[in-house]
Amino acid sequence: MSRMSMMTPEPAQNVFELLNDALVRRKKISFDYHNMGSDHITRRNVEPYGLFFLSSHWYLAANDLDKGDLRNFRLNRIRRVDVNASRSQSPDYSIPADFKLRDHARSKKPWELGDGAGEDAVVDFRNPTGAAKSAARLGVAVEGGSDRRKFRIRRVDSFARWLLSFGGEAVPISPESLVSEFDRQIQETRAVYGAGNG
């Protein structure tokens, strides 16, 4: 299946209906999922916990049975949804009592959403003021400087875009994939606005 056939701005027709039905009846589901990080399509088996809207996209919060972890799946990357048909009126699972969809959705930043396990990103906040100073507080302090912070990220592109918004006051140190994406976005921005064309 090609990338173009998977990616549309809106979820595929009937994805909402199938997911909602599975949620109401607490049925396990499987679906094809396009992972942007690896650009691969894989079959996923999950227990749906809820649907939420964040940063202009719909997401499914679900327990990924193969990964053994709570994951967020963007609906417009989901295709071929199959709802478990056995014992149709009996629930397959229970949502943990301590899971609150509203709190889960509110706690997420765009770079935390995604399919991967995530990785640590280290950022130097250089003489941060105003918004950058507040942003630095979202990270965890790291040895090597009072303004160096660590973040857990799943989306390198979203995180790099967020760092760029601080106009040079937030610069990534690692991982290399983030540093490269940050530099790429700087070059792309310069090209769009004609900067550096002496």
- Cis status, amide bond into 11, omega within 30 of 0: no
Please state whether 61 falls in left (phi above 0), alpha (psi between -120 and 50) or beta: beta
6 pLDDT band, cuts 50/70/90, is very low
Cβ pair 72, 79 in contact under 8 A: no
Q: How far apart are CA 188 and CA 182, in angstroms?
A: 10
175 versus 56: the higher-pLDDT residue is 175
Average pLDDT over residues 14-21: 89
Q: What is the pLDDT of residue 59?
A: 86
Q: What is the pLDDT of residue 63?
A: 94
Burial zone of 160 (CB within 10 Å; 0-12 exposed, 13-18 middle, 19+ buried): buried
- Mean predicted confidence (pLDDT) in 1-18: 60
Of residues 11 and 153, the one with the higher pLDDT is 153
Q: What is the pLDDT of residue 112?
A: 65
Domain boundaries, the chain: 3-85, 119-193
pLDDT at 55: 67
Residue 5 has pLDDT above 60, yes or no: no
Q: What are the tens digits of pLDDT across the range 144-191?
A: 667 889 998 877 888 888 898 888 899 999 999 999 999 998 988 888
Query: pTM of the entire structure?
Result: 0.58
Rg (CA), the chain: 19
Architecture of the domain delimited by 3-85: Roll (2.30)
Q: What is the average pLDDT across 137-144?
A: 82
62: left (phi over 0), alpha (psi -120 to 50) or beta: beta
